Amino acid sequence: MDAGLLGRDAELAELGDRLDAAFHGDGALVVIAGEPGIGKTTLLAAVIARAATSGVPVLAGRAIADEGMPALWPWRRVLDGGAELGLRRELLAVDDGPADEMLFVALERTVQALIGAGPLIITLEDLHWADPATLRLLRLLAGELPGSRLLVVATSRPSPADLPGRRLELGPLSEADVAAWLGDVHPAHPSWPPYLHRQSGGNPLYLRELARVAARDADLTRPAVELPMPDELRRVAGYRFTGLSADCRHLLGGASALGEEFDVTTLAAAAGTTPDLAEALTAGVLVDDPAAPNRLRFSHALVRRARYEDLTRAERIDWHHRIAEALPPGSAAATIARHRVRAAVDEASARSAIDACRAAGQAATHDADSPGAHHWFQRAAELLDTAAYGDDGRAELLLELATAAYRNGQLIESVARCADVLELAERLDRADLAARAAIMVRGTADEQVNRTIVSLCERAGALLGDNDALRARVAAQQTLALTEVYDYATAEPISRQALALAEQTADRVALVDTIHARHNLATGPDGVTERLAVANRLRTIGPVPERPDAPMWGHIWRIDAALQVGAIHEVDSELAALERLADQLGWPVARWHLTRARATRALIAGEYSQAEELTHAARALGFAMEDESILGQSFAFAADLEKRTGRFRDHEPMLLQTIEHIPLPLVWAGYAHYRLAQGDRDAAERMYARVRPTLASMPVDTRWLPTVDDTCRLAAAFGDRDVAAWCRERLLPYAAYYVASVSGYRGSVSHALAIADTALGDLDAADRRFGDAEAMETRIGAPGEAAIVRLAHARMLAQRDEPGDRRRAQELAEQAALTGRRLGMDLVLAGVNELTETRQPLTAREREIAMLVADGLANRAIAERLVLSERTVETHVRNALTKLDLANRTQLTAWALRAGLRN
pLDDT, the chain, mean: 86
Sequence-ordered list of residues with C-beta below 8 angstroms from that of 220, at least 6 positions apart, any chain: 186, 187, 188, 189, 192, 214
Phi-psi category of residue 604: left, alpha or beta, with phi > 0 → left and psi -120 to 50 → alpha: alpha
Say whether pLDDT at 604 is over 60.
yes
Say whether pLDDT at 141 is over 80.
yes
Say whether pLDDT at 376 is over 90.
yes
Say whether pLDDT at 299 is over 90.
no
The residue among 282 and 565 whose pLDDT is bigger is 565
Q: What is the C-alpha to C-alpha distance for residues 71 and 64, in angstroms, rounded to an integer?
A: 11
Sequence-ordered list of residues with C-beta below 8 angstroms from that of 714, at least 6 positions apart, any chain: 669, 672, 673, 676, 684, 688, 691, 720
Q: What is the pLDDT of residue 210?
A: 77
Q: What is the pLDDT of residue 574?
A: 95
Task: Kindly state the average pLDDT of the residues 154-163.
Answer: 71
Task: Kindly state the average pLDDT of the residues 174-192.
Answer: 78
Say whether pLDDT at 899 is over 80.
no
Say whether pLDDT at 458 is over 80.
yes
Say whether pLDDT at 783 is over 90.
yes
Reported confidence tier of residue 659, pLDDT bands at 50, 70, 90: low
Q: What is the pLDDT of residue 624?
A: 66
- From 568-577, 642-651, 752-761, the region with the lowest mean pLDDT: 642-651
Report the alpha-carbon angle 88-94-96, nearest 5.
140
Q: What is the pLDDT of residue 167?
A: 85
Q: What is the pLDDT of residue 398?
A: 96
**Residue environment code for 760-797, b if the CB has 16+ CB neighbours within 10 A, otherwise e:** beebebbbebbebbbebbeebebbbbbbbbbbbbbbbb
Q: What is the C-alpha to C-alpha distance for residues 335 and 347, in angstroms, rounded to an integer?
A: 21
Task: Kindly state the average pLDDT of the residues 594-608.
Answer: 94
Say whether pLDDT at 653 is over 60.
no
Comparing CA positions, the residue from 35, 122, 141, 109 lying closest to residue 78 is: 122
Neighbouring-strand partners of residue 748: 738
pLDDT tens per residue, range 99-125: 677 888 888 898 899 988 878 899 998
Q: What is the pLDDT of residue 539?
A: 85
Say whether pLDDT at 868 is over 80.
yes
Q: What is the pLDDT of residue 558?
A: 94
Cβ-contact 656, 634 below 8 angstroms:
no
Q: What is the C-alpha to C-alpha distance for residues 663 and 369, in angstroms, rounded to an integer?
A: 36
Say whether pLDDT at 625 is over 80.
no
Q: What is the pLDDT of residue 436?
A: 93
What sign does the dihedral 424-429-434-436 (CA atoms) show?
negative
815's enclosing H/E stretch is helix 805-823
Q: What is the C-alpha to C-alpha distance for residues 671 and 680, in angstroms, rounded to an integer?
A: 11
CA 767 to chain centre: 43
Q: What is the pLDDT of residue 727?
A: 96
Angstrom CA distances, 699 to 484, 520, 547, 725, stand at: 12, 13, 30, 19
In this prediction, what percent of the chain has a pLDDT beyond 70?
92
Angstrom CA distances, 87 to 70, 71, 146, 775, 884, stand at: 19, 18, 21, 83, 83
Q: What is the C-alpha to C-alpha distance for residues 665 and 3, in angstroms, rounded to an integer?
A: 47
The residue among 588 and 836 whose pLDDT is bigger is 588
Burial of 662 (0-12, 13-18, 19+ CB in 10 A): middle
Q: What is the C-alpha to C-alpha distance for residues 734 and 833, in angstroms, rounded to an integer?
A: 33
| Strands annotated E in 192-311 | 261-263, 286-288, 295-298
Reported confidence tier of residue 275, pLDDT bands at 50, 70, 90: confident
